[in-house]
Chain A
């Protein structure tokens, strides 16, 4: 018996030593990794945000504990192998259940979509002007291209455009070098900043190998959107034609409306129809749902990103041409570029291995591929020459939607030397408009596009156009104005507000 007892004791000891040695080793390694401050990242490309900074010391913060809670956040936010750990955790969570379709994020609930004509200002509720509102800051641009020398006046876009319009027979500065689009280094921030309003919500359905962002209708924000369009329509009467395009949710097109609504999303078609029914009769309204739905088996929306593909933009462009009474170019007439390996925002959010990597196809405009945009460089606005369709295959996998139209810039311009009638168009858009721009180019001589999130900040800073769309239209003599956004944006206050402020 004593032998048996001592053998058992010995086994207990063996087990304890093995367990302690294994655990302490792994624990120590993780602790040491946490102490390697020089490995701590400051920016997350996957999340597209600055990571938490080590807080500045303050006696008040020490007394109330906020200083220490910020250290907690910093420690975990900048942990050296954090993204690998998150990725590991995401893979582990795949075995939580049966995940043929998956709800990611919180389940929301859209408000009731009104029917008939209503007084829009009644619906505004608390979503009124905030006197302390500050427009989103324009992020610093860190890509390639050719930037005007720093000693040139901050912005000379008006003079350059004037010169081109004065002598329209002269081909625009396409002699400006067709761009050395050096990719931004993968380890640096793609477009800096951290103040831009979110363009999507955090509710996502993964269905098959694709992810779809939910859409939740908001009465007050949608009403604000309609009022903004109407205000702009009033301001543009007799000066320019106004077109409104609202892109339906990807899920409603690809999965079909019945299936999509089962998951509690608001009905985007009802919402678009209602919003457009509230708009001034002078506005040309385009709801591309039917056209897109007719092509639902084609590659209209990215699987890993909340944007549409250029093909989706093309079919919507055909609807625009119909509304304008022009003939769209045949898809086969465009030269293309194919960029593989795109994993966009919805992949970043869900990290789901079910999502199939995307391919970006860009359609080169036939008139010109040359453009410039105004962007912020080191806090100062300057002009950068760029390509409308840019080969971004060397860029980070999450940045490949930047292939289109120079991405999200406060002001962009292209001159089409193949059209000499002085025609001009202004696209007021969020990032969905980027893929639309290449198709517009061939129908106008002057193509302008502004990202409504950043336009006010830029125009105010440079004292241009009275910081509004009608000011820009008058300044440039623009014929057609198109407001294009996705339907989710029309229910997102942080997106409609900057649009609302420039729609006058």
Chain B
């Protein structure tokens, strides 16, 4: 089940919110959230529940062991034990195929590489539990004695699909003392509707245009014109932000409707002025995870330059690897390592002396090509994409590409604007201005009530067509 499906929006979530709202005690509310979260994971395959419960149990025991240990060494051993188990399980499910793929050419073994399905949310809940174990070790949080509380923390369906990666200390209080008032509920509605609209209308629309322009296989990509490839990759750049941030918006919105306050995960990264700034704005919960649990323990920047560069290298290689078990993700991570290194050392003065506008454009160009690396797991397709942009044998454009562009020109402009802070800026301005005048305020209230409804209806309409495929069964 994904958030952007009719069954989730119109059955699962509506009943979850209804039951959570009518429940009186926090224990019942928590039980409801646990039941719905377990149901959510079951939906992706009940056999993975064993893994899900086991991983949480491992972190639970590690936390208790750290808490119960008397000496620093014992605590450390318990923490390392917990980390090894958690990373071992993640590594087995996420990276076994990749590892064997790379080993086989050298050792000629194994004959058959097992296809191991990636259980839903494993990257996210494992990282949440890692942070929990380390935080218990550091003394930032007390170990949780109740397994089901830890289950609720790690498995809450809000953030298991695409984050944000929530720290236990950030929602511990909400688990036991959360309250929902009408203002936070209505803010949750706005946030969820905005996320749903971003996903169902904008991100899916960008994906459709991208597929239309370059297809889904190497042959179609090779036959695309230069403008077709450039536009398609631009659509992918919009899609990946809109898609990813939409899930965070929906998670934050659902959290607000049920009393959980999650930290922001995206802060308009495409309006950043440097690569460093970009990574302060993109998937912030992941960046801060690597900062707090890898970069700083390695020594951060308070060390020699070579050591600092090494620390950065490790963090960005791991960041890339976390995104997927394929070399292109590692290269994508190291691509950013190179730019971050340049910004921090050789080009530091050049960057700070460059006008902001130029820096923004430069950043967008860097990010654009970064997403091309990210998109194509196959190096052949990656090469074809670059050839398609710079030395396209098919020509610059054709009537089809021009038509697709014109057909979607307003849509693409809206999608691009949705990647900028223009919407919240306008909304805040209107809110402030309208509050000074009763008539304007009434108009603002009507508009602010109708916009989420409009987004819900438009999203539901877009999702209703997901199974619409009239040509599959033509009988004339």
Which A residues fall within an 8 A CB radius of B?
A: 8, 11-24, 26-28, 30-31, 34-35, 46-50, 52, 62-65, 68, 71-73, 75-77, 79, 82, 85-86, 88-89, 92, 95-103, 105-109, 139, 190-191, 193-202, 205, 262-264, 306-307, 344-345, 348-349, 401, 407-408, 431
Total contacts A-B at CB 8 Å? 224
- CB contacts (< 8 Å) of A68 on chain B: these are 1, 42-45
Chain B residues within 8 Å of chain A by Cβ, number: 73
- CB contacts (< 8 Å) of A196 on chain B: these are 473-475
* B445–A18 touching, CB < 8 Å: yes
Q: Does B471 contact A (CB under 8 A)?
A: yes
| Bound-complex Cα distance A198 to B474 (A) | 5
- CB contacts (< 8 Å) of A92 on chain B: these are 458, 461
* A76–B474 touching, CB < 8 Å: no
Q: Does B426 contact A (CB under 8 A)?
A: no
Residue of A nearest to B463 (CB): A76
27 residue pairs of the A-B complex, CB under 8 angstroms, read A15-B444, A16-B185, A18-B446, A18-B448, A19-B452, A23-B193, A23-B453, A28-B14, A68-B43, A73-B467, A76-B5, A79-B6, A85-B464, A86-B464, A96-B409, A97-B410, A101-B403, A102-B403, A107-B213, A107-B404, A195-B473, A198-B472, A198-B474, A200-B471, A202-B469, A264-B399, A431-B476
**What's the nearest-Cβ distance from chain B to residue A309, in Å?**
14
* In the complex, per-residue mask of B177-211: 1 if CB is within 8 Å of any chain A CB, else 0: 00000110111011001000000000001000001
Q: Does B429 contact A (CB under 8 A)?
A: no
Could you tell me which residues of chain B, from 421 to 476, have a CB within 8 Å of some CB in chain A? 435, 441, 444-446, 448-450, 452-453, 456-458, 460-476
Apart from A96-B205, A196-B474, A345-B474, 20 more pairs, CB < 8 Å: A18-B445, A26-B456, A27-B456, A31-B14, A31-B15, A34-B11, A48-B473, A48-B476, A49-B470, A65-B43, A68-B43, A76-B5, A85-B464, A85-B465, A107-B220, A193-B475, A199-B474, A306-B476, A307-B476, A401-B476
* B220–A109 touching, CB < 8 Å: yes
* A88–B461 touching, CB < 8 Å: yes
Q: Does B398 contact A (CB under 8 A)?
A: yes
Partner of A86, one of B15, B220, B411, B468: B468
| Bound-complex Cα distance A30 to B6 (A) | 10
With A31-B10, A101-B403, A348-B470 known to touch, is A16 a contact of B183 (CB < 8 Å)? yes
- CB contacts (< 8 Å) of A27 on chain B: these are 10, 14, 456
- CB contacts (< 8 Å) of A17 on chain B: these are 182, 186
**What's the nearest-Cβ distance from chain B to residue A165, in Å?**
32
Residue of A nearest to B41 (CB): A65
**What's the nearest-Cβ distance from chain B to residue A28, in Å?**
7
**What's the nearest-Cβ distance from chain A to residue B216, in Å?**
8
Residue of A nearest to B410 (CB): A97
* B466–A97 touching, CB < 8 Å: no
**What's the nearest-Cβ distance from chain A to residue B364, in Å?**
22
* A191–B458 touching, CB < 8 Å: no
* A22–B450 touching, CB < 8 Å: yes
Partner of B470, one of A48, A96, A109, A190: A48
Residue of B nearest to A348 (CB): B470
* B471–A14 touching, CB < 8 Å: no
**What's the nearest-Cβ distance from chain A to residue B473, in Å?**
4
* B215–A96 touching, CB < 8 Å: no
With A194-B473, A345-B476 known to touch, is A107 a contact of B186 (CB < 8 Å)? no
* In the complex, per-residue mask of B210-226: 1 if CB is within 8 Å of any chain A CB, else 0: 01110100011001000
**What's the nearest-Cβ distance from chain A to residue B396, in Å?**
14
**What's the nearest-Cβ distance from chain B to residue A478, in Å?**
26
Q: Does B72 contact A (CB under 8 A)?
A: no
* A89–B462 touching, CB < 8 Å: yes
* B461–A89 touching, CB < 8 Å: yes
* B215–A62 touching, CB < 8 Å: no
Residue of A nearest to B200 (CB): A89
* A12–B183 touching, CB < 8 Å: yes
* B475–A16 touching, CB < 8 Å: no
Residue of A nearest to B220 (CB): A109
- CB contacts (< 8 Å) of B404 on chain A: these are 103, 107
**What's the nearest-Cβ distance from chain A to residue B157, in Å?**
14
Residue of B nearest to A431 (CB): B476
**What's the nearest-Cβ distance from chain B to residue A123, in Å?**
17
* A19–B47 touching, CB < 8 Å: no
The 3 residue pairs across chains A and B that have the minimum distance between CB atoms: A65-B45, A262-B399, A49-B473
**What's the nearest-Cβ distance from chain B to residue A308, in Å?**
12
| Bound-complex Cα distance A502 to B15 (A) | 56
**What's the nearest-Cβ distance from chain B to residue A494, in Å?**
10
- CB contacts (< 8 Å) of A75 on chain B: these are 6-7, 11
- CB contacts (< 8 Å) of A76 on chain B: these are 5-7, 463-464, 466-467
Partner of B186, one of A20, A50, A86: A20
Q: Does B400 contact A (CB under 8 A)?
A: yes
Q: Does B407 contact A (CB under 8 A)?
A: yes
- CB contacts (< 8 Å) of A72 on chain B: these are 1, 5, 7
Could you tell me which residues of chain B, from 394 to 421, have a CB within 8 Å of some CB in chain A? 398-400, 403-412
Residue of B nearest to A189 (CB): B475
Partner of A11, one of B10, B403, B405, B441: B441
- CB contacts (< 8 Å) of B338 on chain A: these are none
With A49-B473, A85-B460, A200-B471 known to touch, is A22 a contact of B44 (CB < 8 Å)? no
Q: Does B46 contact A (CB under 8 A)?
A: yes
* A26–B411 touching, CB < 8 Å: no
- CB contacts (< 8 Å) of A193 on chain B: these are 473, 475
| Bound-complex Cα distance A31 to B14 (A) | 7
* B474–A109 touching, CB < 8 Å: no
With A48-B470, A98-B409, A109-B219 known to touch, is A20 a contact of B461 (CB < 8 Å)? no
**What's the nearest-Cβ distance from chain A to residue B258, in Å?**
14
* A106–B182 touching, CB < 8 Å: no
- CB contacts (< 8 Å) of A197 on chain B: these are 474
- CB contacts (< 8 Å) of A102 on chain B: these are 403, 407
Partner of A106, one of B211, B462, B467: B211
* A49–B472 touching, CB < 8 Å: yes
Residue of B nearest to A407 (CB): B476
**What's the nearest-Cβ distance from chain A to residue B233, in Å?**
16
With A15-B448, A348-B470 known to touch, is A86 a contact of B461 (CB < 8 Å)? yes
* A47–B468 touching, CB < 8 Å: yes
**What's the nearest-Cβ distance from chain A to residue B53, in Å?**
15
* A14–B473 touching, CB < 8 Å: no
- CB contacts (< 8 Å) of A109 on chain B: these are 219-220, 223
| Bound-complex Cα distance A463 to B154 (A) | 64
Residue of B nearest to A349 (CB): B470
* B474–A98 touching, CB < 8 Å: no
